[in-house]
A and B are shown apart, each in its own frame.
Chain A
């Protein structure tokens, strides 16, 4: 398949706002994909790696500008100017290729596999000269590109396709292409994706072995899977409602981790599927010593304690990014690993009811170990549950999680098998998509952050407000350091940034608003911390914002 045929598909996807039409376009593309199906299942969203793969391209926007300049023979400044004007580096690349001033000696047409493999190969470059090599390889592709191909090569490189294609769209398109497209077909694809996090495997299996084959796909140790997400309940009574003898556990403000054990070897993955094994040798040591299973996946909250008091997650999460002083930090703040689920024990347990998983979890752990079960009860009355909830708060924890004892585990979903109860107005984790250079004394810093939530359905970010307050000088400095390298374009003092930084935000209430494209605005948003552990797609969703808004109104009406 020529790359030009794929860019024609991208153009069609960009031209329609309808998710249904996007699904149809992709279903058709997948059905005709032949042996390129695995690659196309990733490239459809501009991805080069499956979600579980740890690789990163390591290509910044400024390196990409350099590559466009090399390929077109135009000066960097010209490309940056187009970038500012068009607001998209891919569009700037298309213009540069259209107006190129450097001829090439040989010109090949690009095929999809070549683009895919060349871009994937960028992640392998290491050490001295690796940046130049990345620039050279991208320039090589752009040298063979027509303007439209250049647009999408660059968008893929910088990780912003702007096509409104989410994981859900891929799922539905695969179901339509290879199964009959019915509701349970989409669910079969979804389940297969939940256990593999790899559309390459899922797409090929769907085509070659249908529903049955998808059903046989299973979790593999050392290949991370996503976390099941909890819904927010309106108080304890709401959370308990309707569930017979639920499992109630402390909700810890820690690092949610999946601990994989395979024949004595241990790996830790965050909810972003990042491997953080190296940063937590203390956890690894405890697991090696205590866990009584050779092949297991344990889910836990890892909490650091300062003389018995849990240290805030904002503090603790700094360890995730640390490369040095790990041992000192581990000694200063010893951790407890509060385990609350067992997803694998010599085989997948995802389909087993929670109570069974917990019984086996108890069996593989030591009661007073560093890795121990999260505090838990099966209350038979609201009173009992209340007492437990108050104990959790008194112990300095966040609240409780109420779980359906019969429910299976659904990675990556917020299906309502878990409901969390916390005393405060729920904070939102939002993505910073823009900012403004401050004035006066603070003019060296970026402030006035534009915040967005992630719309799963559309695979896009939607803005929900601007944050003016709650920032100390230190925080402004830190925010500036984080955002400045991500700046994509500037207009006067206002800048648009690549959506990578996630922050936790408090607010008074959510209002309906025409100002932002989400249709909602946060009233008095305040900064309450960085979420180093979250990526833009893990930020709170548009659905969540809408739910919170609806909840407010229900309460007001009552």
Chain B
């Protein structure tokens, strides 16, 4: 069984963080909250999300698994006004999700979870550098880099102790340095990797500007981006594989 009431804003944030990578996902409805894990079809980007029962107005579940079409559910959640509550209830008989928003009832057909791509195993990454910064700084970096290139280099200068962003275009370049004073926290280590902006732009869209985001980086290694939402009751970790740098 599954029956929950949640604010429209929390529901939307949850769905948006996953839909940047995939169109369908499985949701584990555990007793203490829900879990979503998904990898994009090309195996380049991954999301691992949990939303604790505390983020809900009320929450009852007993370990079920459902498959949903994300954009459908996002559209429905979008019908709610800010601050409105959304009630979700799983009809076990019909395998449909009953959604109520202030008198509006919507019955959403679920997707057979077996038909959705298998959930990935989270790669075990031990990354030497850690940068903690505000969502707005990621937004600034990505937006600037996108003006000149399709890729972005993220790195940490081990000696000088700063985090940097590089993007090289055909004619124009972008460079940004953030020292310890600009950052919330910095643990230096050898880090320098190139990433596709296509993916980072999408992930950036889901990251709230006032969120505290932890980046973990290495040398030509995947990046991990971690942030909390719903007042800390929700946690998202993105992982993104680097581009291979020739030479």
* Interface members, chain A 53-88 (any B CB < 8 Å): 70-71, 73
User: Among the listed B23, B71, B117, B123, which residue makes an inter-chain contact with A105, where contact means beta carbons less than 8 Å apart?
Assistant: B123
Contact call B244/A143, Cβ cutoff below 8 A: no
A474 to chain B, nearest CB (A): 43
Contact call A105/B39, Cβ cutoff below 8 A: yes
Known A129-B23, A136-B40, A139-B41; contact A105-B244, beta-carbon cutoff 8 A: no
* Interface members, chain A 242-297 (any B CB < 8 Å): none
A219, B241: Cα distance in complex, Å: 52
* Interface members, chain B 110-152 (any A CB < 8 Å): 117, 120-121, 123
B23 to chain A, nearest CB (A): 6
Whether B42 is near chain A, meaning CB under 8 Å from some CB there, is yes
B21 to chain A, nearest CB (A): 10
Contact call A139/B42, Cβ cutoff below 8 A: yes
Binds A, one of B10-18, B26-34, B43-51, B200-208: B43-51
Contact call B44/A105, Cβ cutoff below 8 A: yes
User: Among the listed A71, A100, A133, A140, which residue makes an inter-chain contact with B23, where contact means beta carbons less than 8 Å apart?
Assistant: A133
Known A102-B196, A106-B121; contact A140-B246, beta-carbon cutoff 8 A: no
**CB-defined contacts of A102 to chain B, threshold 8 Å:** 42, 44, 196, 241, 243-244
* Interface members, chain A 121-140 (any B CB < 8 Å): 129, 132-133, 135-137, 139-140
Contact call A105/B43, Cβ cutoff below 8 A: yes
Whether A558 is near chain B, meaning CB under 8 Å from some CB there, is no
* Interface members, chain B 210-247 (any A CB < 8 Å): 222, 239-246
Contact call A104/B23, Cβ cutoff below 8 A: no
A104, B39: Cα distance in complex, Å: 10
Known A102-B196, A106-B123; contact A136-B42, beta-carbon cutoff 8 A: yes
Contact call B243/A101, Cβ cutoff below 8 A: yes
Contact call B246/A105, Cβ cutoff below 8 A: no
Known A137-B41, A143-B44, A144-B43; contact A104-B244, beta-carbon cutoff 8 A: no
Considering only CB atoms and an 8 Å cut-off, how many residues of chain B contact the other chain?
24
A70, B120: Cα distance in complex, Å: 19
Contact call A105/B120, Cβ cutoff below 8 A: yes
For the A-B complex, the count of residue pairs with Cβ-Cβ distances under 8 Å equals 66
Q: Which residue of A lies closest to B150 (CB)?
A: A75
Contact call B120/A71, Cβ cutoff below 8 A: no
**CB-defined contacts of B71 to chain A, threshold 8 Å:** 129
**CB-defined contacts of A133 to chain B, threshold 8 Å:** 23, 41
B 37-74 to A, binary, CB cutoff 8 A, 1 in contact else 0: 00111111110000000000000000000000001000
User: Among the listed B43, B121, B245, B246, which residue makes an inter-chain contact with A104, where contact means beta carbons less than 8 Å apart?
Assistant: B43
Contact call A101/B246, Cβ cutoff below 8 A: yes
Whether A394 is near chain B, meaning CB under 8 Å from some CB there, is no
Whether A109 is near chain B, meaning CB under 8 Å from some CB there, is no
A135, B42: Cα distance in complex, Å: 9
Contact call B244/A100, Cβ cutoff below 8 A: yes
Known A73-B196, A129-B23; contact A104-B243, beta-carbon cutoff 8 A: no
Residue with the highest number of chain B CB atoms closer than 10 Å, among A70, A103, A142: A103
**CB-defined contacts of A309 to chain B, threshold 8 Å:** none
Contact call B41/A136, Cβ cutoff below 8 A: yes
Q: Which residue of A lies closest to B46 (CB)?
A: A105
Q: Which residue of B lies closest to A128 (CB)?
A: B71
A139, B239: Cα distance in complex, Å: 18
Residue with the highest number of chain A CB atoms closer than 10 Å, among B39, B244, B246: B244
A5 to chain B, nearest CB (A): 22
> 25 A-B Cβ contacts within 8 A?
A73-B243, A73-B244, A101-B244, A103-B44, A103-B222, A103-B243, A105-B39, A105-B44, A105-B239, A105-B241, A106-B39, A106-B121, A106-B123, A129-B23, A129-B71, A133-B23, A135-B41, A136-B40, A139-B42, A140-B43, A140-B117, A142-B42, A143-B42, A143-B43, A143-B44
| Residues of A participating in the B interface, judged by any CB pair closer than 8 Å | 70-71, 73, 100-107, 129, 132-133, 135-137, 139-140, 142-144
